[in-house]
A = this chain, B = another copy of it.
Amino acid sequence: MSPQVTEARPRDREATRERILQAARTLFGEQGYEQVTVRMIAAAADANIALVGRYFGSKAGLFGAVLQGEPTFSALFEGDEKDLPRKLAEYTAERMHRPPDSPILRTLERSAGHPEVHAVARERLITAVIEPLKARLSGPDAHARARMATAVLLGVGATRRRLGPEEPTPADVDRLTAVFKACLGV
């Protein structure tokens, strides 16, 4: 047996901060704000609990830092308006059996609880999803149409979380394309 030497880590404020942030990103995305404790985050980051408070002020502050570091969805909404339904359908079909890579939606799917988190999640949902999507839509009722497509995005995630993942079939993608066409009215 080699002696149980716990490899001493060099003291690096920035690296530790980043480990905490990364652990929070993963855990928040997997389990939502309320289910994740700062102790879980600290353990996953292999850091001391007090450092979470020191570097991010509070749990809510850490949550905000996680959301800030995420890209928007503008890439998904690029291209011709006519291609939007199928692109959204393919993205959503992926969501049927796999949680999003980006923690943004994973986190937004949940976290309806704490009012403070609710506020930041709402703001993020608007600026990262609704508004970019609305900007791509021509014609009347752009807001209502974008909102309805967002509802489908959220709903598929909610269904996967509650009923378990389901491998999407080509028929599912076609159905979803039709659904998004109906949502967006294109």
A residues at B contact (CB < 8 Å): 32, 34-35, 108-110, 112-113, 118, 121-122, 125-126, 130, 141, 144-145, 147-148, 150-156, 158-159, 161-163, 166, 169, 171-172, 175-176, 178-179, 181-183, 185
A147 to B156, CA, bound (A): 9
A153 to B158, CA, bound (A): 10
A113 to B150, CA, bound (A): 22
Name A113's closest neighbour in chain B (CB-CB).
B35
Say whether, besides A32-B112, A34-B34, A178-B182, A144 and B172 are in contact (CB < 8 Å). yes
Chain copies in complex: 2
A125 to B160, CA, bound (A): 12
Say whether, besides A32-B113, A166-B147, A185 and B179 are in contact (CB < 8 Å). no
A108 to B144, CA, bound (A): 24
Q: Which residues of B contact A166 (CB under 8 A)?
A: 144, 147
A179 near B175: Cβ-Cβ < 8 Å:
no
Q: Which of B121, B145, B155 contacts A162 (CB 8 A)?
A: B121
Q: Which residues of B contact A144 (CB under 8 A)?
A: 166, 169, 171-172, 175
Q: Can you list 26 contacts pairing A with B, beta carbon distance less than 8 Å? A: A34-B113, A108-B162, A112-B158, A121-B162, A122-B162, A125-B162, A125-B163, A144-B166, A144-B169, A144-B172, A145-B175, A147-B163, A148-B156, A148-B175, A150-B159, A151-B152, A151-B155, A151-B158, A152-B155, A152-B179, A154-B155, A154-B158, A154-B159, A154-B162, A175-B183, A178-B182
A159 to B148, CA, bound (A): 8
Interchain nearest-CB distance for A46 vs B (Å): 26
B155 near A122: Cβ-Cβ < 8 Å:
no
Interchain nearest-CB distance for A115 vs B (Å): 10
A183 near B179: Cβ-Cβ < 8 Å:
yes
